[in-house]
Amino acid sequence: MKSNNTKVSNAIIRRLPRYRRYLNELRKQGVKKISSNELSELIGYTASQIRQDLNTFGGFGQQGYGYSVDSLFHEINKILGLDREYKTIVVGIGNLGQAITNYTYYYKIGFNIVGLFDVNPKLVGLSINDVLVRDFSEMSDFVKENDIDIAIICVNRENAQKVTDVLVDAGIEGIWNFAPVDLNVPNDVAVENVHLSDSLHTLSFLIRSNELEDAEK
């Protein structure tokens, strides 16, 4: 993998998980190698775009051979930091928090949830997939004592920044935020904001665009 200090564009970063997902399916099917043209037909990106994206990190393909599916999958894993496990907590164990906890548990995607936190006394003391729900007041010490890497925030917008501030003070490295608000964090804390309404609004736009195209025919 190429090592340099050049900042990789956000667009390329967003495409890498899609490459990884398709390559993993190809591995399961027993496919050993694939060309950029064949990968293009599967994914929908142009072959030129695929080659440019992958060349950002080094030359993974061979002229006249294409890409080794297994090798490229593992290289993308390394690029995405998925060659290790992340100690993770979930803050806010309502319906969404429980769903995400179950998802990460059953799909074994490398994010090991070791702590759950909430302020609701009806939830504190329960266990989800053998992980205890603790009171929010215990969170800061838990993060420090267990070297937690990532926090998944599933609280309401009014409390999201307060929760974030506690996490940052405790030394958290990354936050996966499902609260409907953008968070303010220092530059050394990575944040991925997941706004579900944004995705629905995009879907609405695509439906409307298709309807307009049909009307013009």
Q: Does the annotation place 93 within a ligand binding site?
A: yes
**Both tokens of residue 34?**
């694939």
Please tell me whether 97 is known to bind a ligand. Answer: yes
d(C-alpha 154, C-alpha 137), whole Å: 16
What is each CA distance from 151 to 48, 91, 197, 213, in whole angstroms?
37, 7, 21, 43
95 is in an annotated binding site: yes
Consult the annotation and say whether 58 binds a ligand.
Answer: no
Residue 66 near residue 34, CB atoms below 8 Å: yes
* DSSP notation for 117-179: EES-TTTTT-EETTEEEEEGGGHHHHHHHTT--EEEE-S-HHHHHHHHHHHHHHT--EEEE-S
4 annotated as a binding-site residue: no
**Residues flagged as binding site for NAD(+):** 92-97
**Residues flagged as binding site:** 92-97
